[in-house]
Amino acid sequence: GNSVTQMEGPVTLSEEAFLTINCTYTATGYPSLFWYVQYPGEGLQLLLKATKADDKGSNKGFEATYRKETTSFHLEKGSVQVSDSAVYFCALSPFYNQGGKLIFGQGTELSVKP
Amino acid sequence: EAGVVQSPRYKIIEKKQPVAFWCNPISGHNTLYWYLQNLGQGPELLIRYENEEAVDDSQLPKDRFSAERLKGVDSTLKIQPAELGDSAVYLCASSLDAQGQNIQYFGAGTRLSVL
């Protein structure tokens, strides 16, 4: 079946540190991959996406590359800010006949200290 | 452009009581989703609508949960009767259509506490 596994949190970093949040997936075919972010008290917002192998999604300094050979979509940022503190969700949308259904990982909480 | 609007934001009820959540999707979005998010977990799909038709409700506990999307716009999710284990955040999302590449836009959610 389809599933997403993320590294467990919480992740605590100092401001300007490098961020990596690991995400691996299991899926048939070629799913689309997403990172969503949830700030405290708010709904999920799309951070970036990639729809085919070797695509790189990027937004607000965050990047993730669709790696089919390792079934991974790790999130990275070169220099985090306090305002990046949030919960990050990796998700996939199966390729065929799934109606755009999103399958989420369990989320990784990021806390950035000044 | 207004986003996905959900109400209420918070709801506290006693077990065995009924409760309803309302969602107004982004204008023009044909596909509407209800997700359940338990504490510390990612959202899980409960039901998906294409216009007014429920096309995927396989994860909806139909003995106590029901949903409707009248005229293919607003949607209501109901629980009757509520149980302690229903305490969670209920998220509504919408997208232009059901293509897997399309972005789903989420509302802020309704946090339900069942006492």
pLDDT digits (tens, 9 = 90+) for A29-68: 889 999 999 998 888 999 999 988 999 999 999 999 999 9
Q: Which of A51, A98, A104 has its CB closest to that of B42?
A: A104
What average pLDDT score do residues B57-79 get? 93
* pLDDT, mean of residues B93-109: 84
Query: Residues of A52-90 as b/e, b for ≥16 C-beta within 10 angstroms?
Result: eeeeebeeeebbbbbbeeebbbbbebeebeeebbbbbbb
Q: How confident is the model at residue A109 (pLDDT cuts 50, 70, 90)?
A: very high
Q: Looking at the complex, does the CB of residue A57 fall below 8 Å from at least one CB of chain B?
A: no
The confidence score (pLDDT) of residue B103 equals 85
Q: Residue A98: is its pLDDT beyond 70?
A: no
User: Nearest-CA residue of chain A relative to B110?
Assistant: A43
Chain B residue with the nearest C-alpha to that of A51: B101
**Cβ–Cβ contacts within 10 Å for residue B10, how many?**
11
Instruction: Report the share of chain B in percent with pLDDT over 70.
Output: 96
Q: Taking CB atoms and an 8 Å cutoff, what residues of chain A touch B45?
A: 101-102
pLDDT digits (tens, 9 = 90+) for B9-38: 999 999 999 999 999 999 999 999 999 999
Backbone phi and psi for residue A10, each to the nearest 5 degrees, phi listed first: -75, 155
CB-based contact, A56 to chain B, within 8 Å: no
CB contact under 8 A, B104 and A102: yes
User: What integer pLDDT is reported at residue A97 of this predicted model?
Assistant: 56
